[in-house]
Amino acid sequence: MTNWNTLSDADFRAQARQFFEAEYPDDLRNLPHRPIFAEIKHWHEKLHAKGWVAPAWPAEAGGMGLNAAKLLIFYDEQQRLGVVRGRDMGVQMVGPLITKFGTQAQKDYWLPRILSCEDIWCQGYSEPGSGSDLASLRTSAVIDGDDFVINGQKIWTTMAHDATHIFMLVRTNPDAPKKQQGISFVLMAMDQPGVTVRKITTLAGEDEFCEVFFDDARTPVANLVGEIDKGWSMAKALLGFERIFIGAPNLAQNALNQLEQFARGRGALDDPRFRDSFAELALDVEDHAALYARFADQLKRGETLGADVSMLKIWVTETFQKITELMIEAAGPDGSSLGPLQVGNVSIDVLASFYKARPGTIYGGSNEIQRNILSKAVLGL
């Protein structure tokens, strides 16, 4: 079993870069859509064979056991090359919770199935009327013998139509004095009576999000992770590294590189006004990268990130949107065209990038919520 943390950061980066550049398929780089598992199964199998599916998991759980510095490098190299975000809800979210809060029986059963993608997971959090105010969720779970009986609805459930299982927050005590109390974290199979999945087609024509309806669906009480009525603390525990990775600079950097190629090929950079707009965005991307590096250094030193990390998500998602808007401008009359536009040897789907940038300011805690966090926890307003 390799202890990757004994390598220097430079040596580990070189090995990660060599593997991704040699093994990651060209046709999967910078995909404009979230693929179903069948599209990336061969890539997942390569990662699984190498033991690189779960870089943040401890080695004893089947992961790489990377420290903060190595983990940042791992994801940086993936993002630099446009490695698609696969069906990683199990690896990124439910796996770490089972590792930290689950019973030994849950770890022995679920973790190997997550690594192999024998089970493919989706996240059941948001509900109609309970998005940013997640604690107001109403989907109920009532104990009936050895099972929870679940009724309610989840929405904006990413790739639920391609999932075998769902982890979700449910209300197990409707009489709790505070809405954050009385919520539990449970695991459930999707392929059963009482579970209905309805796809939501996006503006880009993709079926990435779903509504999920529960009508007397069942899951064993043994699939409760952690304590009953204590699921809110579980939900907060999912933040961890997500708070910095969701604000990583590669999203805007890759978009800016595409914009430069496209604008140069279209002659837009000959326009002084366009050059000014491009230069302003380029400076924003550089400033954001410097801010990200500051927070990354905190993690490398073993420090806990403060509430000010919310700045990263706001900055990168709004800059990404501005970049895609300028790309539409560079396309001129073709800016509303569906499908890729050819510029020299480069093919860029301008409209798909624009659509992809829209939900970024909403997911992972809307930017309005992030600004509230900054105003209260950082500025003391």
Which residues are the active-site residues?
Answer: 242
| Sequence-ordered alpha helix ranges (H) in 180-331 | 231-237, 242-245, 250-266, 272-300, 310-331
| Residue position matching structure tokens 């400033």 | 287
Sign of CA dihedral 58, 60, 63, 65: positive
DSSP string, 161-223: GG-SEEEEEEES-TT-SSTTSSEEEEEEESSSTTEEEEEE--TTS---EEEEEEEEEEEEGGG
Q: Residue 316 burial (CB < 10 Å; 0-12/13-18/19+)?
A: buried
Sign of CA dihedral 37, 252, 315, 128: negative
For 218, 241, 301, 370, the CA distances from 365, given in Å and listed in that order, are: 29, 14, 26, 7
| CA-angle at 243, arms to 119 and 299, nearest 5° | 110
Q: Residue 197 burial (CB < 10 Å; 0-12/13-18/19+)?
A: middle
